[in-house]
Structure 1
Amino acid sequence: MTQGICRLCKKSQDLKLSHFIPKFVGKWVKDTSATGYIRFNQSIDKRAQDIVKEYWLCECCEQLFSSWEHEFARKVFYPFMDKGESRARYDVWLSKFCASLTWRTLTYVRSLHVEKSDDVSRSLDAAENTLAGYLLGESTVLGKYEQHLFPLESIAETNVRGAPPNLNRYFLRTMQMDLLESESGSIIYTKLPGFLLLGLTGHKESNSMRSSRVTMGEGMLSPRSYRWPTGLAEYMFEKSRQITATYSSMSQAQKDKITKTILDNPDRFRSSRTYEAFKHDLDMFGNKAFSKKDEV
């Protein structure tokens, strides 16, 4: 622990190391990978045992987040990702979990000193304050700061030109945090394996995205027709291409290390979710799926 100001409640407290993407997600990715390790785009030649964390929250706020994470993991994430389920009933814990994840992405990405215009910075300040008030129980509504959750399944075909040949691997394996800007408004982007969460800040297309909006109380996650904001598909395609480019830049020594790990434990490789996601890409794109190494 270290002494500091909790980023959520703003009190001077002993701070705990907090994960931005929930710890259980990183553990699942590692446990279901072909090698038992995680690699990040920023340091592709290093194997990691854990995902990004910082001294961010006090014990009390960390426990708040943990309770909502537990509900999401038990009732949504593991049933969808490990059992192939596609429906889940939820209560207010889902809006709390989504808001907490959006808040973490927003505060973490902003801490990297990504430059934004004054108008955008003020808009993000308002979003951060509203999310914090909701998480701390100071408010029971989020107003225009809607949370939109999209379950992502493997896909077998697409008529969209330019779809990258690692698209299923991006949908099913990738973790990512980002802040997106367009003429329609800001989007706080959090990508989990099998799920995409968009935190809106008064986005102009929100009225046409009601099927993905997480309600403030009881609701149901289920297969339905979802609509993404304009330009989001191409953004995800580009991120998929960047992953391919990053892995192609990996040193030969690290590529050899991956190959040796797989050869030493072929059963793990064949039963891994990495291999399963790759097979979906192989079925969809043929030999193009072999073009570069992806997450292992």
Structure 2
Amino acid sequence: MAKKKSGKQPIIGICALCKKESTLEESHIVPKFVFRYLNAHSFTGRIRTVAEPNRPLQDGKKLHLLCSDCEDLFNKDETLFSNKVFHPFKKNGFDGPVIYNGDWLNRFITSVNWRVLHQDLQKITTEQDNDKPLTPEILNTLSNAENVMRSYLLKERLNLDVLENHIILFNEEIMRELFSHPHAIIQGSAFGTPVIMNKDAMYVISNLVGILVITIIKKHPEEIWLNSFVSNESGEIPQSQHFDSPIVTELRKFEDFRQAYIEGISKNQLEKLQEKIRKDPDGFKNSETYKRIMMDRKLK
């Protein structure tokens, strides 16, 4: 009798990017290197979500989304961003202008926020909130934006039309304007979400542990973005940044999410964490978790 092959069975489906039938990879929505960093610098070596605070995780959300060719298409830009922006920023802060040659930074931001938008559109079409359904006009605008981003990533078009990509590298000044616990909320988290304020203000935002990447789908006429715009060609991001946008309202909601996370941790999980700290107090004090707590306390 033949032995059964070990391992998971391949998932065959339609690639969300190229729309071809293929074996689908497990694709991260927020890039894998972000969660590797969070795990490596967490005292527990695990991450937790607001939705499931009592479930320690080793990785971020993955979906069978892309074929191997499209996954490889994203990997090149992710590697450049990780090496040239993410890790230098996490090591030294925003200590000089971010210089980029070519369109890789624009493509990286598009690839992340396209995944976030695509995933959310799939949910919206099947799980509309009956209390606050999106209007056909808004849904059409979001769908058109997703198609523009997809065509750009496939190099079927040379630009993003009216869409804009921006990047904010959070420093103390910017964070203190937004939050009472900025280090825990921004420097210790990773998330991506569409932000739909109304038909005239729509965005996709992703926080990559202190680096906010934004795709503006519809720009509010009064919002301000200083030194954050990412060109589709070579350019640089100066150190002095400022933004005043409707997304600030959405970002401030994460204060409430943080409180819900704290209140959601069970007594059993809390006791396990306290026991781990008692066994390794030096490890806790040297962790990024502890450092973020102390930096937030200094702000009060």
TM over 0.5: yes
Structure 1 equivalent of residue 69 of structure 2:
60
Task: Choose which of 24, 32, 37 in structure 1 pairs with 2:41.
Answer: 32
Are positions 1:89 and 2:99 aligned together? Answer: yes
Query: Superposed, which structure 2 residues align to 1:58-207 within 5 Å?
Result: 58-86=67-95, 87-91=97-101, 92-113=103-124, 115=128, 116-155=134-173, 158=176, 164-183=179-198, 184-205=200-221
Structure 1 equivalent of residue 248 of structure 2:
233
CA distance in 1, matches of 2:207, 2:155: 26
Aligned residues: 281
**What is the RMSD of the two structures over their aligned residues, measured on CA atoms?**
1.9
CA distance in 1, matches of 2:201, 2:252: 20
Residues 167, 237 of structure 1: 8 Å contact kept? no
CA distance in 2, matches of 1:277, 1:56: 34
Aligned identity (percent) is 26
Cα offset for 1:155? 4.4
Cα offset for 1:157? 8.5
CA distance in 1, matches of 2:213, 2:174: 22
Q: State the SS of the aligned residue for 2:54.
A: strand
Aligned-partner residue type, residue 228 of structure 2:
S
Structure 1 gap ranges (5+): 286-296
Cα offset for 1:81? 0.4
CA distance in 2, matches of 1:146, 1:165: 29
Structure 1 equivalent of residue 7 of structure 2:
none
Residues 203, 218 of structure 2: 8 Å contact kept? no
Cα offset for 1:201? 1.0
Are positions 1:275 and 2:286 aligned together? Answer: no
Structure 2 gap ranges (5+): 1-9, 129-133
Structure 2 equivalent of residue 47 of structure 1:
56
Cα offset for 1:207? 7.4
CA distance in 1, matches of 2:175, 2:148: 40
CA distance in 2, matches of 1:84, 1:157: 13
- The 4+ residue runs of structure 1 with deviation greater than 3 A are 154-158, 205-208
Cα offset for 1:187? 0.8
Q: TM-score, normalised by structure 2?
A: 0.88
> Structure 1 256/15 Cα, relative in aligned 2: closer, same or farther at 3 Å?
same
Cα offset for 1:192? 1.3
> Structure 1 187/206 Cα, relative in aligned 2: closer, same or farther at 3 Å?
farther
Compare 94-103 and 213-222 and name the one that shifted more: 213-222
Residues 106, 230 of structure 2: 8 Å contact kept? yes
> Structure 1 254/130 Cα, relative in aligned 2: closer, same or farther at 3 Å?
same
Residues 154, 171 of structure 1: 8 Å contact kept? no
Q: TM-score, normalised by structure 1?
A: 0.89
Residues 223, 244 of structure 2: 8 Å contact kept? no
CA distance in 2, matches of 1:204, 1:84: 30
Aligned-partner residue type, residue 216 of structure 1:
N
